[in-house]
Structure formats: structure tokens, C-alpha cells
Amino acid sequence: MPGIIGRKIGMTSIYSAEGKATPCTVIEAGPCVVTQVKTQDKDGYEAVQLGFGERKEKNTPGSLKGHFKKANTTPKQKLVEFEEFEGLNLGDVVTVDIFEEGEFVDVTGTSKGKGFQGVVKRHGFGGVGQSTHGQHNRMRAPGSIGAASYPARVFKGMRMAGQTGNKRVMIENLQVLKVLTDKNLLVVKGSIPGPKGSTVIIEKWN
């Protein structure tokens, strides 16, 4: 679907005329440069590649420098492909005005990483046993993970301790509350994944 690349600014609230507060997230959406136009004849599918954010020239590989030079733009930090964009050519600029207030979007980002965590924090386990009657460091233990004799293995997908967060997450069907074209800002209802300053992808909801 058509969309744009942005950066999460943070959260705030918008108050209605009745005084009701609505939590929302502010996103710096674009401007994005068209760095490549893929066609059915040459690439096997149709898509538009957009670039967002500035990248240092010295940290850009030579092959990418030529890629950006074709589009007559500076090196970009993030490249994302979008389908169903029409009427765009190499070097065109896509801004936040492709969205309208009241419509719905899907926002994709990388959730905050929380490191290696136990089952209580990772899966919401209640812990086992009591803190008295001889119990020792068992309050946040996972409990049994399977039988020893049969099947004598741990089933795939068993909820156990491990890496928490730092995953690609899509939040669907978020309403656009405000579009500030002069400041390239998009205000959506609710929260989106990732910390402040992280890169997100905003697509029109289908």
C-alpha cells in the first residue's frame, strides 16, 4: 500500500471540545525521495523505493552512492519499498500530504528491547508456590516444562525465559488525528512501537 517513512517524536494528548483527552503519537513523516522505480518488465513487480533521513557520505558504500546519484539526492539512511504508488518518477519527493485527517493507517516499527527476561515479565506468569514453608527462590520460577520420560523433549513454542522485545511490530488501524504539512508531522491516535527517535513505516490502511 502507499505509505511513507517517518521518525517517532513522542506521545502527547489532544483534548476535544468536551474536555476528553485522547492519547496520540507524533511522527515526523517524510519528506521522502524516490530513489528507485521498479517495473514489471525489468524487476518482475511494480514498486517505488523511498529514502528517508540523511546519511554521512563517508559511511555510504560506493554502490549506494551511485544509486543515490541517479536520483539526484544525498545518501539516505533508510530505504523502503511501497506498492500501488502511481505517477511517481525518480527523484520525486513524497510528503505527509498523502494522508488525510480521519483516515486509518498501519504503523510498523521495532519494539523496545528489554534484554533477557524471565517468564513473569516476558509472559505474565504468576510464579509458583508460596514464599514460606521452606521455599527458596521459587517465587518467579517457570514450573514444569514437560515430561521426562515421554516425549522427553520440550515442545517448540514453549513459553520460557528469553530475549524480550526488539522485534518488528505492526500496529494496525490507527486513526490520523492531524496532518501538519508545514512541519511534516503526522499525529495518530494511540501508541506505536519503538523508542523516541526510532524509524517507523506508515502505510495507508487497506
Evaluate whether residue 136 is within a structural domain: no
Evaluate whether residue 151 is within a structural domain: no
Domain count, the chain: 1
Evaluate whether residue 145 is within a structural domain: no
User: How deeply is 152 buried, as exposed, middle or buried, from its count of CB atoms within 10 A (0-12, 13-18, 19+)?
Assistant: exposed
Reported confidence tier of residue 137, pLDDT bands at 50, 70, 90: confident
Evaluate whether residue 189 is within a structural domain: yes
For 186, the domain range is: 3-114+163-204
For the segment 79-98, the average pLDDT, to the nearest whole number, is 87
Evaluate whether residue 127 is within a structural domain: no
Residue 6 has pLDDT above 70, yes or no: yes
C-alpha cell at 124: 505474565
pLDDT of 129? 67
Q: What is the pTM of this model?
A: 0.84
Evaluate whether residue 42 is within a structural domain: yes
Evaluate whether residue 34 is within a structural domain: yes
Domain holding 19: CATH number? 2.40.30.10
Evaluate whether residue 185 is within a structural domain: yes
